Amino acid sequence: MKAAVISYFHEKIESGINEFLNSVGIECRYYRRVPVDDKKEMTYLASIEILLADPGRITDVISQFKKLKWLQSTWAGIETISGLEQIKSGKITVTNLKRTFGELISEYVMGYMLAVHRNFFQHYENQKKNTWKSLEYNRFAEKTVGLIGTGGIGSEIARKCFAFGMRTLGLNRSGNLVPAIDKVYRKNRKHEFLKECDIVVMTLPHTPETDRLVDKKWFDQMKKGVLFINAGRGKTVVQDDLIKAIDSGKIGTAVLDVFEDEPLNPKSPLWNMKNVYITPHIAGLTFPDELVKIWKTNIELYTSGETLLNVTNPKKGY
């Protein structure tokens, strides 16, 4: 059986898994990027059955991997490849890292929620001015957190919120209950959902259904002064409407890890808006050691004919 790795982390992945692959009879080659100018290596890639890859590195060439049956993505999102024919048709099974990113992104969200509600940023500014000043703050236990996106990431955020005594609400297409989330609303009841939330957290993938989903109508229905966090995908929000909602005070604080276009334009007004905190799409980074663990487990399942972990649904886009 043949496999390949095409990833920025190819060297670390090789050192972590090559011995295991050899032990189960899988030949594997490792690349930082697709060797399109190397005929010999492209012939090899045309013969592989298993591929671990950064999706953005293979979009234009995956059609040449004629025998590929399973792609292990190094990302949580699959929007860059879900529209490709081999993926849509089900010819290639795609698995992702949603379980890993649930832990990482929930840490990001909880960290910023704590920093905002306990005034950590203001205290640091006072420290730089040698100012000793007590600031009032709000108790977490009194807050309702609304989760737009109730998959693995949203559920992990809810579990951490529970530890702080917070109430969690979810919003999804079905309204079906989700583990760890106190109450779930269907999408068509968003007005009821939004009016209850002190904090709104978005972890949606970018799909045709979620493209520019959250717009002025959504912001208008939120509580005045809400804390808004987007750690999912920037294209799920109409950015101009978001800027207006911040400027009007409807959104009291915004924590933004993702944007309509990345990197964020240096001329964007978001950079200099009060109570806006920007990070460069780092809420959930890929850790090679975790990636190796998940891939190893899935290889064991694959070679024994069992169901893989984190199988995606290309028709839904996640």
- Copy the structure tokens of residue 313: 């649904």
Is 206 marked active-site? Answer: no
The catalytic position among 281, 290, 300, 306 is 281
Q: How far apart are CA 152 and CA 149, in angstroms?
A: 9
Beta bridge partners of 70: 50, 93
Q: How far apart are CA 150 and CA 155, in angstroms?
A: 6
The catalytic position among 27, 209, 262, 306 is 262
DSSP 112: H
Is 281 marked active-site? Answer: yes
Q: How far apart are CA 194 and CA 219, in angstroms?
A: 9
Is 57 marked active-site? Answer: no
With H, G, I as helix, E, B as strand and everything else as coil, classify residue 220. Answer: helix
Question: Which amino acid, 260?
Answer: E
Nearest-CA neighbor of 99 among 141, 159, 45, 28?
A: 159
Whole-number CA gyration radius for the chain: 22
* Active site residues per annotation: 233, 262, 281
